[in-house]
Structure 1
Amino acid sequence: MDCKTIKELCYEYTNLGEADIEKLETMASQIPYTSELTGTDIFIDAPLKDGVDAVVLAWARPKKRSLYGHSVVGELAFATSEPAVYRTIKTGSTSRNVRGVSQEGIPIEQTVVAIRNATDDVIGTLIMERDISEDLRQEEQVEFLTQTAERLSNTLMYLSTTGSQFEDWVGNGLYVLNKNNKITYVNKKAAQIYHDLHGFEASGNDFYLTMFDCSTLDELLDHLKNPVEYCILEKNYFFQAYPLVTYGELSGCVVSFRDITDLRKKEQELHAQSNIIREIHHRVKNNLQNVAALLRLQMRRSDLDEVKAEFLASINRIISISMVHDVFACQTCDTVDLRELSQRILKGLLESSALPEQNIETRVEGQSVLLSSSQAVPLALVINELLTNSFKHGFKFLGSGLIILKLAETDGQIQLSVWDNGPEPLEPFDIVKQRRLGLQIVDSLVGEQLDGEFEMNRIEGMTCVTVGFPKHYSEEPS
């Protein structure tokens, strides 16, 4: 275990003192033994300076098998994805048997214990993660057997032997078979299909297993333990089989099916509509890029720097909108990753706005945030204007600088902020917002289309423009 790495991570991400760091280093040297003893992955996390999220300081894995294929030391654990860690950091209480899914998609059970210093303050968390794949499999098997014995054996066998009409209770096509593969009960839906296929009545006759590529009842139950789709007489059906158990022995099965023809037709229609929408986005993107190209040609015809600057600002706005349509043209869902979109806009502006001799460092921080198309387009313009404001006014006469775009989502509220270390404006921020066209555009878009607010501040030698607005969720198509 590299204690220096732990110390460096603590200095970079946390507010912990030397004594607290030494305690965490001591704990880290011991967790390999605990990991090997318990056969689990053990982690030590420490709270970040914001007191909400955490950073992974140490990791120990068992020799035989780990839940992780690579080291996660140094990665951030956000409160939204690690609620148990957040709870323990905030309350100091132990979080036991919290179930979730690892980065590799393995179901896990997590136990989190607070690490306290000499003054009883929580300085970190000790986390144990255990693979519960086998536990879940056994739970599902027990639940399945219980449901089979109680619901199917007792109810269906009783109804089939008494001749009761229970198709309304089931709502699907239904065959009840005995252990010799004879049909002992069939409802109207199933009887009609059987007659159309074979030309005679179903009741009392064999159920044709070969239709499902099976030769025995056991094979049929295994093949249809989950819904399987078949096309029969130009219609689509989901078939599923359930065992009937009497006194611990297989006494037959129930084969249930439902018509999904209309569902498949609707899926095809939705797929066609999705292709049309993507094509529209693609054409809109191309048209916007054509407009931007025409503006570039017009810009080159002018000798006035002020005119060129206005052309460039308009071009960047158009390109920012086209980036949104480009994203939607390449995917099927109606959401866009705000982090990815911000990186694309930032890269484009850096290429078009920064001078060759300037050294402007840029980065995007924070979590991925998914937005609907109705919010993505105005927000793309907002991001463009805020970044352009930093390039144009923050570093106009400087050789170097730093621009940071930060993203966060909390309780349905989106917060986006742009930071730059350029000089502080000579005028108050209220006057700056009124005089700069780009900031007027931001004010209008945020207030009218995003139902949010934005403000400007000077914090620790950096100009910070913050935009906050509620997240709108796309409605699923009916």
Structure 2
Amino acid sequence: MNNSTVTELCFLHTNLLEEDIKRIKELVANLPLIADLNKANVFVDCPTKEGKHAIVVAEAAPSTTKSNYKKSVVGKFAYEAFEPAVFYTLRTGKPMFLNRAVTQEGKTVDQSVVPIKGADDRVLGALIMEKDISEHLQRQQKMEALSEATEALSGILMGLAENRPIIPEMLEESIFFLEQDGKLLYCNPSGTNLIQEIDEDGSWIGKSLVSYFPVIEAILKASDELIVQEVKLLNKVFQVKKIELRQQEKMTGTFVIFKNITELREKERELIVKSVAIREIHHRVKNNLQTVASLLRLQMRRGLPEESKVHFVESLNRITSIASVYEIILSGSSVDDVDLFKLIEKIGNTLILEAEHENKKISITYSGAHSQIQSNKAVSVALVVNELIQNCVKHAFKAIHHGKIEVFFHQIDDQMEIQVIDNGEGYSPKSKSSLGLDIVKMMIEHDLSGCFLIEKAETGTIATVKFPLTRGEVQL
């Protein structure tokens, strides 16, 4: 397997990072061994940038048995309609075993799929194994009355079974069945209505489907037996599926299915417009906050009374903490969600860097998952974390100039808990309440519907914050 092909396909069609592609390439190097050991074809599929399809970036055929494929499928797209198990694994990160599937060359296989995961348990792609069970199925079919079954199924398909309503007649999709030469043999009522929008005559039997819909000519001529493609037709958007039927390597007919997805695409377009608008709002809020921060820094450079300087610094830190929320949103792919780990890390590192300017040697560590929280909650969390870490820097190490701060955060069901622990002088309940702690209590109780506890530890102080990720009561 050519690793340069894997890299090129991943960069061209996916959102995978360089470290993700390296992980994929390490796995691809072992594909031939996996194929030989299992006597099966194996593939690596990765989700495309749009997330609608997947791209086959690597494959390996077994040398220990006959391959299921005559042609390479590397670089071809996989569609959810034909690969439901693959897309289930890509979305959920869960494996699927011995799922019945049909290959792109029309063979029936037992398909097993396991997720390929990278850092932070992210799903990078899917490892797929396919074993040919065509002979097994043929042995089963020989035991059935094939002629009677075929006649009955044909009658149901064509709607000739005692003139009763059947499934194709009730479907909203337009279904066409073409003979080997591409002439129309059958279409359901929805298909007839679609044809009549072009030709009111309605005598479609024996005519070419391409004569009505020239836009699908390339789809019908394509050598692939299974194709899903979008086309624009009659000022609408249709998803067109082509399914070729084969018997003993000979094509016996073709199903063409039109599904009107105009409304779906319009809703997607509206969502994209709204997403762009939201990101633009976040961008402007971030710029405005940075402008306010710049004004405060300018005032500080021009000179301040010593007793006022600390208040300006605290206000500046609060503003930059809120701005961090919008910077992280704009740097990620989500429209309105914030990575909690990145947010806390950014705020903490900024405060510790300022402490170094005051000749304090304080180290800080973070422990927690990359949980996503909504931006409105993230603003409150940013202010809370800013005040707690700033409180450590300012008060815990007042008499000493070195120390350690640990920030722990973890999610239990719908509850998020954040702890800020220092090894400084230790909190005294008799201490005078500060503006910072008042801000923490107000944010936790009113904005996050949570609770706050600060207490003296054996060495230093432990501040604990708990709040629900969705609106509701906090579990103490």
The interval holding the TM-score normalised by the smaller chain is 0.5 to 0.7
Query: Is 2:389 the partner of 1:387?
Result: yes
Alignment match, 1:133: 128
Alignment match, 2:416: 414
Contact 2:113 2:129 in 1 (8 A): no
Three-state SS of the structure 2 residue aligned to 1:392 is helix
Three-state SS of the structure 2 residue aligned to 1:364 is strand
Question: 1:152-201 CA distances to partner (integer Å, 9 max, x unpaired)?
Answer: 99657524151766555221111122344332222344334445567864
Contact 1:236 1:261 in 2 (8 A): yes
Three-state SS of the structure 1 residue aligned to 2:439 is helix
Task: Using the TM superposition, give the Cα deviation of residue 268 of structure 1 relative to its aligned residue in structure 2, in angstroms.
Answer: 1.7
Letter in 1 for 2:233: I
Three-state SS of the structure 2 residue aligned to 1:397 is coil
Three-state SS of the structure 1 residue aligned to 2:209 is coil
Structure 1's 165 and 179: CA in aligned 2 closer, same or farther, altered over 3 A?
farther
Three-state SS of the structure 1 residue aligned to 2:206 is coil
Letter in 1 for 2:360: Q
Three-state SS of the structure 2 residue aligned to 1:409 is strand
Question: 1:235-259 CA distances to partner (integer Å, 9 max, x unpaired)?
Answer: 2111113455789986433221211
Contact 2:328 2:342 in 1 (8 A): no
- Structure 2 length-normalised TM: 0.63
- Structure 1 length-normalised TM: 0.63
CA distance in 2, matches of 1:141, 1:410: 50
Structure 1's 153 and 355: CA in aligned 2 closer, same or farther, altered over 3 A?
farther
Cα RMSD, aligned residues only: 4.1
Alignment match, 1:322: 323
CA distance in 2, matches of 1:243, 1:154: 21
Alignment match, 1:435: 433
Contact 1:160 1:184 in 2 (8 A): no
Alignment match, 1:103: 117
Alignment match, 2:407: 405
CA distance in 2, matches of 1:262, 1:320: 41
Three-state SS of the structure 2 residue aligned to 1:133 is strand
Task: Report the count of equivalent residues.
Answer: 350
Alignment match, 1:333: 335
Three-state SS of the structure 2 residue aligned to 1:283 is helix
Describe how 1:197-236 pairs up with structure 2 within 5 A. Answer: 201=202, 202-208=204-210, 211-212=215-216, 214=218, 219=223, 221-222=225-226, 224=227, 227-236=228-237
Alignment match, 2:467: 469
CA distance in 2, matches of 1:344, 1:304: 29
Contact 1:176 1:254 in 2 (8 A): yes
Structure 1's 215 and 451: CA in aligned 2 closer, same or farther, altered over 3 A?
closer
Alignment match, 1:70: none
Alignment match, 2:238: 237
Describe how 1:71-470 pairs up with structure 2 within 5 A. Answer: 101-104=115-118, 105=123, 133-135=128-130, 158-162=156-160, 166=166, 169-194=170-195, 201=202, 202-208=204-210, 211-212=215-216, 214=218, 219=223, 221-222=225-226, 224=227, 227-242=228-243, 251-330=252-331, 331-425=333-427, 427-428=428-429, 431-432=430-431, 435-470=433-468
Letter in 1 for 2:117: Q
Percent of aligned pairs sharing the same letter = 29
CA distance in 1, matches of 2:393, 2:232: 61
CA distance in 2, matches of 1:392, 1:332: 35
Task: Using the TM superposition, give the Cα deviation of residue 101 of structure 1 relative to its aligned residue in structure 2, in angstroms.
Answer: 2.3
Three-state SS of the structure 2 residue aligned to 1:414 is strand
Letter in 2 for 1:378: S
CA distance in 2, matches of 1:448, 1:141: 67
Three-state SS of the structure 2 residue aligned to 1:435 is coil
Structure 1's 387 and 239: CA in aligned 2 closer, same or farther, altered over 3 A?
same
CA distance in 2, matches of 1:154, 1:460: 81
| Stretches of structure 1 lacking an aligned partner (at least 5 in a row) | 1-34, 41-63, 65-80, 85-97, 109-131, 474-478
Contact 1:452 1:469 in 2 (8 A): yes
Contact 1:194 1:200 in 2 (8 A): no
Letter in 2 for 1:338: L
Task: Using the TM superposition, give the Cα deviation of residue 283 of structure 1 relative to its aligned residue in structure 2, in angstroms.
Answer: 0.8
Task: Using the TM superposition, give the Cα deviation of residue 455 of structure 1 relative to its aligned residue in structure 2, in angstroms.
Answer: 1.0
